[in-house]
Amino acid sequence: MNQVVIIGGGIAGLICSYLLSRAGLSVLVIEKNQYPFHRVCGEYVSNEVKPFLERTGLYPEDFDPAQIKNFMLTSVSGKMATATLDMGGFGISRYRFDEFLYKKSEKAGTRFLLKNQVKEIKKTAEGFEVLLGNGEKVGCTMVIGAHGKRSTIDKSMNRGFISKRTGYLGVKYHIKTDFPGDSIALHNFEGGYCGISKVENETYNLCYLGQREHLRRFGNVKEMERQVLFKNPFLKPIFENSNFLFTDPIVINEFSFDKKEVVENDVPMIGDAAGLITPLCGNGMAMAIHSAKILAEMIILNKDDLATNRSKILSEYERKWNKLFSFRLSLGRMVQNLFGSKRSSNFAVNLMKRSPFITRKIIENTHGEFIE
């Protein structure tokens, strides 16, 4: 029987599986896609996790990630403020980063079931039974939920947030464009905001959070962009003068920033499955990595008798998760209210211009300390 089954091979699942396998545990990751693949994400990784990635050999040095240290914010009507990012970050596409982590984890001993979806988790006398879409069943002592923002597994577990409609829409492109490689910009538009920053290979990520209602009203993504995003004078030229590398954008919808349970039916959640921070904070991936790290460390400490120590691991993980991330998520939700409307985004730009100290404090508090 597997000691640990991880549902989902995104950033959280891959980091957790790597650490556990390296410590000698038997780990199976079940992922519904096949690497490499594109995902909706701004692809800016906060440097808070860089020391940890370097120490564990998981920093994707060979791809020469962009080094980002400047921030630009524009309001719906095109007012602009700039700041230096104390911590900064690096840019790498999820296409490359996830595949890189997958190979590292596989080399460390993790087994992968790709193109397989988990439909249900059942408790058994020995631990858990995981039911797959193809009808197979997999037994294990411990299951970890690393299935991201929203999944069929959330429905089968009857998780609180899943029945609520949120109306959010996420859209991503890769483009070749003229923009400083060491900067990240967040451009507001009515109902959302659009980020641009460099990844590897002289390519830029253009990714936005918008409203499904706008898509419904304007019929398709292109028309919605023309009618809504182009009103910001910074966004129009980016869309009109860049070379778009995908035939169609990558689109997701209905994700929730609401509070989630960190442990559900004895299944610990990591990454977005435990809670999604608003994308404007630019550290969802760092939180996914950090939560994977703290859970892996607790499991490794108790690896000789996982079944007996399970409840201790779960309660300690939940306590630590709340201490590290609860406040950040609430602050992220509050800051998001300063985005996506003419008045509030002008207020945010003015705040950044007039009170660099407050701006710095907000950025600091939505991020963590450097993680070793």
Structure tokens at 262: 């960190």
Q: Is 8 among the residues that bind ligand FAD (CB under 6 A)?
A: yes
Minimum gap (Å) between residue 276 Cβ and ligand FAD: 6
Report the nearest approach of ligand FAD to the CB of residue 294 (Å): 14
- CB 101 → ligand FAD: shortest distance, Å? 10
Q: Contact between 105 and ligand FAD (CB under 6 A)?
A: no
Shortest spacing between CB 32 and ligand FAD, in angstroms = 4
Residue 9 vs 88, nearer CB to ligand FAD: 9
The only residue of 43, 48, 200, 225 in contact with ligand FAD, by rule CB under 6 A: 43
Q: For residues 71 and 340, is the Cβ–Cβ distance under 8 A?
A: no
Pick the binder of ligand FAD from 209, 235, 349, 362 (CB under 6 A). 209
368: contact with ligand FAD by CB under 6 A:
no
For the record, the structure tokens of 220 come out as: 């398709």
Q: How far is the CB of 304 from ligand FAD (least distance, A)?
A: 28
Contact pattern for ligand FAD over residues 125 through 154, marking x by CB under 6 A: ---------------------xxxx-xxx-
User: In the set 81, 238, 285, 294, which binds ligand FAD (CB under 6 A)?
Assistant: 285
Cβ distance to ligand FAD smaller for residue 38 or 231: 38
Q: Tell the smallest beta-carbon distance from residue 103 to ligand FAD (Å).
A: 15
| Residue 42 interacts with ligand FAD (CB under 6 A): yes or no | yes
List interacting residues with ligand FAD (CB under 6 A): 7-13, 30-33, 39-45, 117-118, 146-149, 151-153, 170, 207, 209, 255, 271-273, 279, 282-286, 288
